[in-house]
Chains A and B, each alone.
Chain A
């Protein structure tokens, strides 16, 4: 047996591949790192993902790192997780790549869920996955120069390279299939909350196929954090990755650092985090349910959803000081304590919410026209959900029994009791049902957490976190599994931070859900995924002069305006 393989599943992988696993390292309680040759990556990853008897295996994230300043090489890690009662295990399959030869066999042909990850490292680090079926640009804009890789360490975050943009550089969208026309949806469309461009290839009103271009919302978050922020400052920028599930990102990030640095979070802080995460789920789910109604033309339900959601926002404001960006999380714990009067406030709000939301659900689901619009629409099969490593309510509505809170307990979830609703239909209605049930579960979780909340400190102190430690932090965000990977650097700064928001794993499966439906249903189906574009699209180069953050595009914009004049 290889040293370090002290867990059943890890041992099995090691036994299966024998000598080809060069090293096993247990980097945290539930995280193992297996070092393999780059040519073995595909085989090891697909072995774990495709083990039928291991339940809901999942590609949780994949990280490419420029480790040249430390080890003179690039590295890639595929992080796989075992879910659904199989055990609390994350397996990282790591391989080093030499700068002279950055190619390695792509995992995508075996597991399509790896597609985006590999396109991203291709864009940002210049790593070449071989036999990848679709290596078009994913992250970088069309006018970004070729051969410039922003995540490499020799690329400074103040650089903003430019290139003359020509007709040929336009994004190579797929040609519409025979007999179809392109129905463009977005980047600006009433039903899309954020920019995303979909090309629906339609025959009449039926969607035959879909192509998309995203990542309009790149910001410099990962790069900026790696260069100029301290651990505590990153919490706040992590929170601003997303406009809805910010707290999830902040907690995931803090947990990653805490795992890497071996920091014990006080129990009370864990409970406070749990309550805030669930409050976030409440308002996120109610928002999404409301939007689904809006997209189906049911404005009254939409308005009422927002009306009953508002007290939750007010509650968050009273608890944290702000309705959305809570700023509650620091590495090591929480910033504000729940005083007694706030506890009463929570109870009061929840009681009212429970009644109003039950009423809302009853009246909405008894509206025939709404149910008609949702039933059997936008079906994502279990096979597709699994094949794309989908997460969250989107996956649970298609029969995937996964939930990070239960499968990899963090914060206080180990002590709390809750159900994980799973539906098999895979349609828009099932997703709405999952969300509605989760709202009630969240209320129940908060009630328990308030009951059991222990006393004591809320913030642990830490001095210095050793460099070159790797760890994962994970949270079940309202939209699903949200994974942060960190590698620590010198002087309390990050060496590498990889944020994988939930939507990142769900988006690639969207075409499967859209195919065969009509353009009337497209906005509803997209909304039922609860997409979060800016979460997914974290990274871009920003111009930082004296700390000023300007998006690269600004000059383009000015130039464009001048031309127009």
Chain B
């Protein structure tokens, strides 16, 4: 009545509560980087390529400590812990998962902004409609920070002109 199992010749299933290797669902990820900020060992990275307008969320399982903080903070439920624990591989690259997303191109100046298309969609979705003018925000959302600042400055000047000509 040995208690030793013939692992790896028999498969072992982790219990349902097990925190295994995390996985990012590329369909759901909006590239907000909440997981990147929460990750203690920097297993998650956010790399923006402003020239080509892409953002990469890079998950490196080799660095991951399976704390599941990313799963906790993810606003869309894109990061999920799996029950997987066998990750040995001869290739270091097998440990890396990359989600590539498009950045928003500013409609005013044509430069790329530092947020993704999907972030805009998500932000508009969770907007409480009754409080804001959705149309205006939608228009603003496709403009980069710098241009937005410029626009509001111009708007303020315009407004002040109207009241004090």
* A–B direct contact (CB < 8 Å): yes
Residues of A near any B CB (own CB < 8 A): 229, 232-237, 240, 307, 310, 314, 317-322, 325, 327, 335, 546-549
User: Which residue on chain A has the smallest CB distance to residue B81?
Assistant: A321
Taken together as a complex, chains A and B put the C-alpha atoms of A320 and B42 apart, in Å, by 22
> With an 8 A cutoff between CB atoms, is B91 at the interface?
no
* Residues of A contacting B42 in the complex (Cβ-Cβ under 8 angstroms): 546-548
> Chain B, 78-113, contact with A by CB distance < 8 Å: what is the 0/1 string?
000100000000000000000000000000000000
| A298 to B: closest C-beta gap in Å | 19
| B65 to A: closest C-beta gap in Å | 6
Taken together as a complex, chains A and B put the C-alpha atoms of A95 and B72 apart, in Å, by 43
Asked whether A317 and B40 contact (CB < 8 A) given A322-B66, A325-B65, A335-B72, the answer is no
> With an 8 A cutoff between CB atoms, is B123 at the interface?
no
> Chain B, 1-14, contact with A by CB distance < 8 Å: what is the 0/1 string?
00100000000001
* Residues of A contacting B67 in the complex (Cβ-Cβ under 8 angstroms): 236, 325, 327
Evaluate contact between A233 and B15: CB separation under 8 angstroms: no
| A130 to B: closest C-beta gap in Å | 40
Q: Of A229, A310, A318, which contacts B40 at CB under 8 A? A: A229
Closest 8 CB pairs of A and B: A547-B42, A321-B19, A233-B40, A236-B40, A327-B67, A236-B67, A321-B17, A318-B17
Taken together as a complex, chains A and B put the C-alpha atoms of A563 and B48 apart, in Å, by 42
Taken together as a complex, chains A and B put the C-alpha atoms of A232 and B73 apart, in Å, by 12
Evaluate contact between A233 and B68: CB separation under 8 angstroms: no
Taken together as a complex, chains A and B put the C-alpha atoms of A548 and B45 apart, in Å, by 12
Evaluate contact between B72 and A318: CB separation under 8 angstroms: no
> With an 8 A cutoff between CB atoms, is B38 at the interface?
yes
Evaluate contact between A327 and B38: CB separation under 8 angstroms: no
* Residues of B contacting A317 in the complex (Cβ-Cβ under 8 angstroms): 14-15, 17-18
Residues of B near any A CB (own CB < 8 A): 3, 14-15, 17-19, 38-42, 45, 63, 65-69, 72, 81
Taken together as a complex, chains A and B put the C-alpha atoms of A237 and B17 apart, in Å, by 22
Evaluate contact between A236 and B17: CB separation under 8 angstroms: no
| B15 to A: closest C-beta gap in Å | 5
Evaluate contact between A236 and B38: CB separation under 8 angstroms: no
User: Which residue on chain B has the smallest CB distance to residue A235?
Assistant: B40
Evaluate contact between B17 and A319: CB separation under 8 angstroms: yes
| B56 to A: closest C-beta gap in Å | 14
19 A-B interface contacts by CB (under 8 A)? A232-B69, A233-B39, A233-B40, A233-B69, A234-B40, A236-B40, A236-B65, A240-B65, A307-B3, A310-B3, A317-B14, A317-B15, A321-B18, A321-B19, A321-B66, A322-B18, A546-B45, A547-B63, A549-B41
Taken together as a complex, chains A and B put the C-alpha atoms of A172 and B18 apart, in Å, by 48
Evaluate contact between B38 and A232: CB separation under 8 angstroms: yes
User: Which residue on chain A has the smallest CB distance to residue B19?
Assistant: A321
| B69 to A: closest C-beta gap in Å | 7
Asked whether A237 and B40 contact (CB < 8 A) given A318-B17, A319-B17, the answer is yes
Task: Given A317-B15, A547-B41, output 16 extra A-B contacts at Cβ < 8 Å.
Answer: A229-B40, A233-B38, A235-B40, A236-B40, A236-B65, A237-B40, A310-B3, A317-B18, A318-B17, A320-B17, A321-B17, A321-B18, A321-B19, A322-B18, A322-B19, A322-B66
Taken together as a complex, chains A and B put the C-alpha atoms of A195 and B14 apart, in Å, by 32
* Residues of B contacting A237 in the complex (Cβ-Cβ under 8 angstroms): 40-41
| B20 to A: closest C-beta gap in Å | 9
User: Which residue on chain B has the smallest CB distance to residue A229?
Assistant: B40
Taken together as a complex, chains A and B put the C-alpha atoms of A327 and B41 apart, in Å, by 13
Q: Of B41, B65, B68, which contacts A321 at CB under 8 A? A: B68
| B129 to A: closest C-beta gap in Å | 27
Taken together as a complex, chains A and B put the C-alpha atoms of A473 and B136 apart, in Å, by 51
User: Which residue on chain A has the smallest CB distance to residue B73?
Assistant: A232
Taken together as a complex, chains A and B put the C-alpha atoms of A320 and B15 apart, in Å, by 11
Taken together as a complex, chains A and B put the C-alpha atoms of A327 and B67 apart, in Å, by 6
* Residues of A contacting B40 in the complex (Cβ-Cβ under 8 angstroms): 229, 233-237
* Residues of B contacting A549 in the complex (Cβ-Cβ under 8 angstroms): 41
User: Which residue on chain B has the smallest CB distance to residue A225?
Assistant: B40
| B38 to A: closest C-beta gap in Å | 7
Taken together as a complex, chains A and B put the C-alpha atoms of A548 and B60 apart, in Å, by 11
* Residues of A contacting B17 in the complex (Cβ-Cβ under 8 angstroms): 317-321
* Residues of A contacting B63 in the complex (Cβ-Cβ under 8 angstroms): 547
Asked whether A236 and B18 contact (CB < 8 A) given A229-B40, A547-B42, the answer is no
User: Which residue on chain B has the smallest CB distance to residue A303?
Assistant: B3
* Residues of A contacting B68 in the complex (Cβ-Cβ under 8 angstroms): 321, 327
| A415 to B: closest C-beta gap in Å | 27
User: Which residue on chain A has the smallest CB distance to residue B43?
Assistant: A547
Taken together as a complex, chains A and B put the C-alpha atoms of A546 and B42 apart, in Å, by 8
Taken together as a complex, chains A and B put the C-alpha atoms of A371 and B69 apart, in Å, by 47
Taken together as a complex, chains A and B put the C-alpha atoms of A68 and B77 apart, in Å, by 45
| A372 to B: closest C-beta gap in Å | 29
Q: Of B14, B15, B19, B39, which contacts A327 at CB under 8 A? A: B19
| A103 to B: closest C-beta gap in Å | 38
Most A C-beta atoms less than 10 A away, residue of B15, B40, B41: B40
| A148 to B: closest C-beta gap in Å | 26
| B42 to A: closest C-beta gap in Å | 3
* Residues of A contacting B66 in the complex (Cβ-Cβ under 8 angstroms): 321-322, 325, 327
* Residues of A contacting B14 in the complex (Cβ-Cβ under 8 angstroms): 317
| B19 to A: closest C-beta gap in Å | 4
| A37 to B: closest C-beta gap in Å | 41
| A247 to B: closest C-beta gap in Å | 13
Taken together as a complex, chains A and B put the C-alpha atoms of A547 and B17 apart, in Å, by 29
* Residues of A contacting B15 in the complex (Cβ-Cβ under 8 angstroms): 314, 317-318
* Residues of A contacting B39 in the complex (Cβ-Cβ under 8 angstroms): 233
* Residues of B contacting A233 in the complex (Cβ-Cβ under 8 angstroms): 38-40, 69
User: Which residue on chain B has the smallest CB distance to residue A336?
Assistant: B17
User: Which residue on chain B has the smallest CB distance to residue A335?
Assistant: B72
* Residues of A contacting B38 in the complex (Cβ-Cβ under 8 angstroms): 232-233
| B52 to A: closest C-beta gap in Å | 20
* Residues of A contacting B72 in the complex (Cβ-Cβ under 8 angstroms): 335
* Residues of A contacting B3 in the complex (Cβ-Cβ under 8 angstroms): 307, 310
* Residues of B contacting A240 in the complex (Cβ-Cβ under 8 angstroms): 65
Most A C-beta atoms less than 10 A away, residue of B42, B63, B66: B42
| B46 to A: closest C-beta gap in Å | 12
* Residues of A contacting B19 in the complex (Cβ-Cβ under 8 angstroms): 321-322, 327
